[in-house]
Amino acid sequence: MNADSQASADSLVSAAEIAKLAGVTRAAVSNWRRRHADFPTPVGGGTHNALFALSEVHTWLDRHRRGGEVSGEVLVWQALRGTYGDDMTRGLADVAELFTTESAPSLDAGVRSQVEELAARSSPAEVVAGLTERLIDSAGRTGSEQVSTPRLTRAIRHFAGSVSGTLFDPACGIGSLLLALGDGPEVTLAGQEADPSAARLAESRVRLAGKTDVTIRVGDSLREDRRPELRADLVVCDPPVNVPDWGREDLLLDTRWEFGVPTRAESELAWLQHCYAHVAPGGRVVFVASASAAYRKAGRRIRAELVRHGVLTGLVALPAGMVASHAQPVHLWLLARPSSPDGAASFVRMTDLTANDPDGLFEPAPEQVVDVALIDLLDEAVDLTPTRYVAAARTDHLAEYTSTREVLVARLRELLDLLPPLTSGPGCLEGPTVRVTDLARAKLVEIAEGEAVSTSDQLDTDYLHGFLRSAANTRRSTSASGTFRADVRGSRIPQMGIDDQRRYGAAFRALDEFERRVRELTELSDRATSLARDGLTGGALRPRTDR
């Protein structure tokens, strides 16, 4: 069977899936491919995402007894866990510095021996890569603020495009974005990270990847900018989130707030402006933000200034599951500093990938992208949510408005016939009344979840429901504090013969239907008004000239 027929007849798996199947890391799988000539040949994918036939993988694992054994990497991880506990970032930093500095005195002698033995069987770079991969996989529990997931890293790399010159990450964590985007020969890397262990690990990872032109400083970038003079060609940032105090009171006069001083609750817009402050003319920013940063009221003024100045060039709504700390969708904000006064953007490109597979491609389809003029973004809310604009662009305003208008007109005509004809009454209902609780005791009604239903052909349910909603029963169900509580059992209804009950029941039933139709009419009215207004202001509709 040739490779093409094998690929179509067999399930295909990636190197990552093989690693999970065998209980090892992708670095170990990479080592197997290099060291074993009989390892299955890829039958699909590309150079960096090879796919293998699952049946061939199972056969190879069984033949080499690779499935289920405890690997040397697992033993090293367990030893590090025993020494460092939950502070595995510091443990991995010590391991990485064993290979990138002259000594790593803080590394336990026993652990050091295991690490060196593992590196002798593969390479220092693969050892650190494998252990870091385990750290990333466990980041949902601890350390997620220092880790950009592989999914998010791929997305950022896609929308960043080609990279040259200086690449800067002011919240670089363990260096994943610097590694992913800075692999070109003409790229200089710079970073800053508040956590010293993460900064050490990031710099060592970059150096083990062969990049010597790298500088990573330690410190909180907002409170203590260690590179104030730096102007980069590309700034990427996956900043800390949910920071209750980012230092606003101490930084009110900071020159980085070019578009306005962020509120205490808007740390993301503080990070965004920090990134923009470090961009050279003609340079770009790719910034990760929560979806709510695009519409929160507190950030409205800053969003408006970003749009007015033409520095916001795009927003990308990514699928759910892109970050380690939560499963909510996130956005990429794309900014560019104009290289000349007339170089500002005239529109913002909105891209909606929320329905895409997070493990799939990030190349948007044409219907997932719309270019929105700046003026159309500057309404009262300055809501920059991409889904809102992409969905509106896909709307056939004329067809939807015409259809909604026709339904609305038909419903208006129907309403005329729904209100029941009524005549003058005696002014008050005379005669005895009966409590619903007595009817329930006589088994004429059943009460479930606060609602009474007739169980007798001598009691009309619509008549019962209509009088339960009377003003008298509503007052009886309202407490002294003004709180309404449904008190079906304590309510009273007049005693009438079944024929009179049915006449009243028919009227109540008609009123209920009228109310339901009015609610529907309100929704239709809102929809028709919205379609008409958006169509007229956006150019999709215009007034008719034959009236």
Q: pLDDT band at 499, cuts 50/70/90?
A: very high
Cβ(308)–Cβ(272) under 8 Å?
no
Axis crossing angle, helix 267-277 with helix 300-308, rounded to the nearest 10? 30
Span 363-370, average pLDDT: 92
Chain mean pLDDT for the chain: 86
Say what the pLDDT of residue 360 is. Answer: 85
Number of Cβ within a 10 Å radius of residue 353: 26
Dist. CA 156–CA 331, nearest whole Å: 10
- Report residue 372 as tokens: 């929105």
| DSSP state at residue 233 | E
- Report residue 123 as tokens: 């390479």
CA neighbours within 13 Å on the CB side: how many for 199? 17
Span 444-469, average pLDDT: 86
Residue 393 pLDDT > 80, yes or no? no
Higher-confidence residue: 472 or 164? 164
Q: For 128-164, what is each residue's pLDDT tens digit?
A: 998 998 888 775 544 456 788 889 999 999 999 999 9
Say what the pLDDT of residue 68 is. Answer: 54
Q: pLDDT band at 47, cuts 50/70/90?
A: low
Dist. CA 83–CA 198, nearest whole Å: 17
Q: For 245-263, what is each residue's pLDDT tens digit?
A: 899 999 999 999 999 999 9
Residue 64 pLDDT > 90, yes or no? no
Cβ(279)–Cβ(337) under 8 Å?
yes
Say what the pLDDT of residue 224 is. Answer: 95
pTM: 0.65
By three-state DSSP, how is residue 38 classified? coil
Say what the pLDDT of residue 477 is. Answer: 57
Q: β-strand 369-373 against 232-237: which pairing, if any?
A: unpaired
Range 303-308, long-range pairs (CB < 8 A, 24+ positions) = 303/269, 303/382, 303/384, 304/378, 304/382, 305/259, 305/260, 306/259, 306/335, 307/348, 307/374, 307/377, 307/378, 307/382, 307/384, 308/374, 308/378
Residue 199 pLDDT > 90, yes or no? yes
The DSSP secondary structure of 86-123, one letter per residue, reads: T-HHHHHHHHHHHHHSS--TTS-HHHHHHHHHHHHHS-
- Report residue 424 as tokens: 């003058």
Cβ(434)–Cβ(492) under 8 Å?
yes
- Report residue 485 as tokens: 């509580």
Distance from the Cα of residue 25 to its chain's centroid: 28
Q: pLDDT band at 46, cuts 50/70/90?
A: low
Say what the pLDDT of residue 7 is. Answer: 40
Say what the pLDDT of residue 300 is. Answer: 96
Say what the pLDDT of residue 293 is. Answer: 95
Q: For 342-361, what is each residue's pLDDT tens digit?
A: 889 999 999 999 999 888 88
Q: Which residues pair with 286 in a beta bridge?
A: 236, 334
Candidates 141, 143, 140, 190; CA nearest to 165 is 190
- Which of 212-221, 272-281, 412-421 is predicted most confidently? 272-281
Cα→Cα distances 42→17, 32, 126, 478, Å:
14, 13, 21, 73
Cβ(180)–Cβ(231) under 8 Å?
no
Say what the pLDDT of residue 521 is. Answer: 87
Exposure b/e, 99-108, CB count within 10 A at least 16 = b: bbeeebeebb
Say what the pLDDT of residue 483 is. Answer: 44
- Report residue 298 as tokens: 């507190």
Dist. CA 111–CA 116, nearest whole Å: 9
Dist. CA 298–CA 265, nearest whole Å: 8
The DSSP secondary structure of 532-545, one letter per residue, reads: HHHHHHHTS----S
Candidates 489, 442, 443, 439; CA nearest to 468 is 489
Say what the pLDDT of residue 281 is. Answer: 96
Q: For 65-116, what is each residue's pLDDT tens digit?
A: 765 555 678 788 888 988 888 889 999 999 999 999 876 667 888 889 999 9
Residue 419 pLDDT > 90, yes or no? no
